[in-house]
Amino acid sequence: MTTRKPRVYLLDILESINHIESFIANVDEDSFFSNVEKQDEGW
């Protein structure tokens, strides 16, 4: 099994953060907490 370099993990995390930001763009707090799909996106 090959070991991934830490940089690759960090790039994956940054990509995930960007996706999350786009998923919740323009969603207010009440809408977020009342929408399970927004809370659980991709998990």
pLDDT tens, position by position, 1-43 = 678 899 999 999 999 999 989 988 999 999 989 988 887 765 5
Give the per-residue pLDDT at 11: 96
26 is in which domain, residue-wise? 6-39
Structural tokens at position 27: 């969603």
* Chain-centre distance for alpha carbon 42: 8
Tally of domains in the chain: 1
pTM: 0.66
CA atoms within 13 A on the CB side of 9: 4
**What is the rounded CA–CA span in Å between residue 34 and residue 29?**
9
Residue 14 within any structural domain of the chain = yes
Residue 1 inside a domain? The answer is no
Question: How far is CA 8 from its chain centroid?
Answer: 16
- Evaluate whether residue 20 is within a structural domain: yes
Place of tokens 């009440």: 30
| Helix/strand/coil for 21 | helix
Give a yes or no: residue 24 inside a domain.
Answer: yes
Q: Tell me whether residue 18 is in a domain.
A: yes
